[in-house]
Amino acid sequence: MSAAAELGQGVKAVIPAAGMATRFLPATKAVPKELFPVIDKPVLQHIVEEAAAAGIGDVLLVTGRGKTSMVDHFDRRPDLEQRLTERGDKERLEAVIAPSELSEIYTCRQSEPLGLGHAVSYAETHMHGEPFAVLLADEFIDPKHELLSRMLELQQRTGGIVLALLEVPPEAVSRYGVAAIEAAPDSDDVVRVTGLVEKPPADEAPSNLILIGRYVLPPAIFGAIKETEPGRGDEIQLTDAMARLLDKGVPVHGIVFRGTRHDTGEPAGYLRTIVELAWDRDDMGQFRDWLATFMEEQKDA
């Protein structure tokens, strides 16, 4: 086992995936965006792989109305496996079995999508009073960056909350949770977070560092969520619950992530993600050639 994976041993994760995915309508009317393929693997598999690379082998998936098909992806399919075995298609057989071997998958249902904080609150009994990771279901990061492992290590060292932060152009901040920060000594990418605000107007944002969908949280978050009133969009916001803990003196740290975050929650980010991943795949040479030619043709058009 890699050193990165050792850090997550015994740590559990929750993946809230019960949102309504309005930015992707009408595609998400009947199909969960978590099952949209990124080339040949659904988004959700990329996320569970990211957790597994950090050593996390216990994932609680929060599902909701019309979203239960997500869970099937992590089941074995004996009929399909038998057919592929008969055909001697070893490569596809391994690909079909792989999702079921990544992690133990548990599920629960959010009765209504009342917000990310509300979705996370369903994890309380599953976490047994231990710190845990939250991975949002519509974005992922290449495990080679070891972001989640570094977050787990930082949480074990500092306690409290650990966030992943990303620098964005100032005009983009109003779509996200935003952190106010102080530099932490001895590191160029670890910061102390001094304030948190959900979707502030650009001219009131405390910085241009947004919260991306990876968190390591202490169990005290569950009490804070219970005390949190609906905020932005009339939803129970996780950012507001974390801000409560911050006000109570719980330490909050952030790692400023400088790699590529794949945001598959809306059409443009989803398309970008497919191209970015295809660019790195040996078997996608024909697609790369086509894309290069297509771009040239558009320039001349």
Q: Cβ-closest residue to ligand UTP?
A: 19
How many chain residues bind ligand UTP (CB under 6 A)?
20
If we measure between CA atoms, which residue out of 155, 153, 144, 181 comes closest to residue 262? Answer: 144
Of positions 18, 44, 53, 277, contacts ligand UTP by CB under 6 A = 18
What tokens were used for 149? 């492992």
Of positions 31, 35, 93, 114, contacts ligand UTP by CB under 6 A = 114
Shortest CB 238 distance to ligand UTP, Å: 8
Q: Does 237 bind ligand UTP (CB under 6 A)?
A: no
Q: How far apart are CA 238 and CA 198, in angstroms?
A: 9
The one-letter amino acid at 137: A
Shortest CB 153 distance to ligand UTP, Å: 25
State which residue, 138 or 142, has the beta carbon closest to ligand UTP: 138
Q: What is the DSSP string of 219-278?
A: TTHHHHHHHPPP-GGGS--HHHHHHHHHHTT--EEEEE--S-EEE-SSHHHHHHHHHHHH
Decide: helix, strand or coil at residue 19: coil
Q: Does 42 bind ligand UTP (CB under 6 A)?
A: no
Of positions 11, 13, 14, 17, contacts ligand UTP by CB under 6 A = 17
Q: Does 232 bind ligand UTP (CB under 6 A)?
A: no
Q: Does 298 bind ligand UTP (CB under 6 A)?
A: no
Q: How far apart are CA 99 and CA 80, in angstroms?
A: 14
Of positions 265, 270, 273, 277, contacts ligand UTP by CB under 6 A = 265
